[in-house]
Structure 1
């Protein structure tokens, strides 16, 4: 399973469990340790790779501990400080990281609450941790363009020099994207003045003109994002009835005056919806889980999703004769539909998408069965 599938798996878990996590220790167990082990590939139970409660006395500060130190080639390379998932990250949370950064060999410091992962290095001054991260990964809304950089920090392909060389560009690109996101959500006075100056025929951009243009800029921003989402989804789904369905969904999701909330698609997802079908986030989360499981047998792009009014189907090679699973989520009781070698379906009650992992072997066996039959015909 590649890093994209591993991150998607943890993202789905976070969405399901976040509401029940109330402490820092629970956050570590539920999200931080799985990220270290599953995503970054370090053995959390091997002290030669992961040192919990890492201590390196700093000046008059004695006995302070960093939550985790990650070791590669016998050297501490990354430091991790964790906070509880319900607490937004603030720079003051990183005080121990700042101190430890200068007295260890680590060039990467990570501040996280399990959902948001902020990666720091020493771009501004050598051996002094920067005040701004060069990479921010939000597991609740994964930016897939960051995953190749994250892959460079995994144990199997640790490439510190490559990460550091790209960190400067990543730092400013990330900051610009966050600034643009903030402007699209709630345009600042400077942004309104700038855009009004581009389109307004009058000579002076007065306070009255700015007040007039503020809602217009906000509305135009939402419409622009909606159009971009539409174009992307239409390309993925093809033309015809699906396009009309996508238009309605995207417009409803990003109505003026509301936060942008485009319909999320898993990376590489191949989805087809019939008319009047609304695909829910829970269905997409479950689809991601099935797809992640099946990726142990086939490439991800061979797993397709097809939503209908009664169930969400997961197919191999977009072939109705090769059902991998059915997600019966359009009812009060949820079921996972699995298939035997004769394609007889059995429905298994589940509560959450992550419950599907308990049936991973059965799903893999179904996919492997289709592959073996294909080999027999060759």
Structure 2
């Protein structure tokens, strides 16, 4: 069985576990977390390899335990703190991981609720666990790239130097993405000056910078649309540049105007184009439509309210997106901006593929 198939089996186990009401932390460990470690190649029945209730004295705190320590060739390589399946990792306390990380030689810490696995290391300061995970893996929404990163933590492939090098790359990519997303939404003066120096020959005064900002935003929009068009062309198997007008018409056919005076924002359009490009891998882009309302902006399959893909809540400082699965279960996720949609490609493709299959694969 391939690693991909093994992880798919874990996702099935997770779905069964979630069908139980109020599953406890211990039940979560047995149902999902230990099988997860097993699929990474560890012998969960060997207490010298997967050590439960691992104890390390921390300062004046004595006898505190972390849920699991995982060893390779007798050396503990990472520690695991488990939470119940219904726990939101973004709001739970995991102080034990911080304390253990600082007093042991371990360089990788994992926080999990069985469904989501957050991986931490010490990029910011040696022997001090970073506040933010460098890698997040979800059994409910992953793609081939996520699987490749996860496999680096398997017993046979684990290499701490490679993992930390990858961790630094992932962190810097995330930070760069966050900065670029911020500039797409609202370019600051320094960014406008940086770009403006490449084409503006005059003095970049405050008045000029302010005047250039709409042009910079428009340039971002054009770049995004071009990238979307390129992905559509690849997905549709069209390498002929003469067909570009046809592609534009295909994409435009999916745009349903907002009603009742509701204005669809630039961010909502950007998010729609990204979703349309992702979905193009499994269906015709014309099946993906946008319908704006006062409370949220909906992205639908076939312009059908009964076939929601997601709802966009992108106005205001706190932004979020609600994703739907094949059973129309809704999960709302906080995002920094439209660019974060690329982290949820599997969710989008799964629900679109379900709708597409139901209508005969069109």
TM class, shorter-length? 0.5 to 0.7
Question: In structure 2, how many angstroms separate the alpha carbons of the residues matched to 1:257 and 1:77?
Answer: 42
The residue aligned with 2:275 is 263
Q: Are 2:107 and 2:122, in contact at CA under 8 Å, matched by a contact in 1?
A: yes
Question: In structure 1, how many angstroms separate the alpha carbons of the residues matched to 2:285 and 2:41?
Answer: 39
Question: In structure 2, how many angstroms separate the alpha carbons of the residues matched to 1:214 and 1:35?
Answer: 52
Check 1:116–1:309 CA distance in 2 against 1; reply closer, same or farther (3 A cut).
closer
Q: Which runs of 5+ in 1 are unaligned?
A: 290-303, 314-378
Question: In structure 2, how many angstroms separate the alpha carbons of the residues matched to 1:88 and 1:212?
Answer: 43
Question: In structure 2, how many angstroms separate the alpha carbons of the residues matched to 1:237 and 1:131?
Answer: 42
Deviation at 1:146, TM superposition (A): 5.2
How many residues get paired? 295
Q: 2:360 aligns with which of 308, 311, 331?
A: 311
Q: Are 2:52 and 2:68, in contact at CA under 8 Å, matched by a contact in 1?
A: yes
Deviation at 1:78, TM superposition (A): 0.8
2:176 maps to 1:176? yes
Question: In structure 1, how many angstroms separate the alpha carbons of the residues matched to 2:225 and 2:18?
Answer: 28
Check 1:87–1:249 CA distance in 2 against 1; reply closer, same or farther (3 A cut).
farther
Deviation at 1:256, TM superposition (A): 1.2
Q: Counterparts of 1:169-318 in structure 2 under 5 Å? A: 169-200=169-200, 202-206=202-206, 208-239=207-238, 243=247, 247-248=251-252, 256-258=266-268, 260-261=271-272, 262-263=274-275, 271-273=282-284, 276=287, 278=301, 281=309, 282=325, 307=356, 310-312=359-361
The residue aligned with 1:89 is 90
The residue aligned with 2:54 is 54
Deviation at 1:100, TM superposition (A): 1.0
Q: Given the two structures, how large is their TM-score scaled by the length of structure 2?
A: 0.58
RMSD after superposition:
5.2
Question: In structure 2, how many angstroms separate the alpha carbons of the residues matched to 1:77 and 1:229?
Answer: 42
Q: Counterparts of 1:1-378 in structure 2 under 5 Å? A: 2-4=2-4, 25=25, 28=28, 33=33, 36-37=36-37, 40-42=40-42, 47-82=47-82, 87=88, 89=90, 93-112=93-112, 117-123=117-123, 128-131=127-130, 135-137=134-136, 139=138, 142=142, 144-145=144-145, 147-200=147-200, 202-206=202-206, 208-239=207-238, 243=247, 247-248=251-252, 256-258=266-268, 260-261=271-272, 262-263=274-275, 271-273=282-284, 276=287, 278=301, 281=309, 282=325, 307=356, 310-312=359-361
Q: Given the two structures, how large is their TM-score scaled by the length of structure 1?
A: 0.56
Q: Are 1:69 and 1:76, in contact at CA under 8 Å, matched by a contact in 2?
A: yes
Paired residue secondary structure (2:95)? helix
Measured against aligned partners, the alpha-carbon deviations of 1:127-179 in whole angstroms (never above 9, x if no partner) come to: x1343667322537657545434312113433334323444444433432333
Q: Are 1:184 and 1:218, in contact at CA under 8 Å, matched by a contact in 2?
A: yes
Q: Are 2:89 and 2:112, in contact at CA under 8 Å, matched by a contact in 1?
A: no
Deviation at 1:198, TM superposition (A): 4.0
Worse-superposed segment, 172-181 or 14-23: 14-23
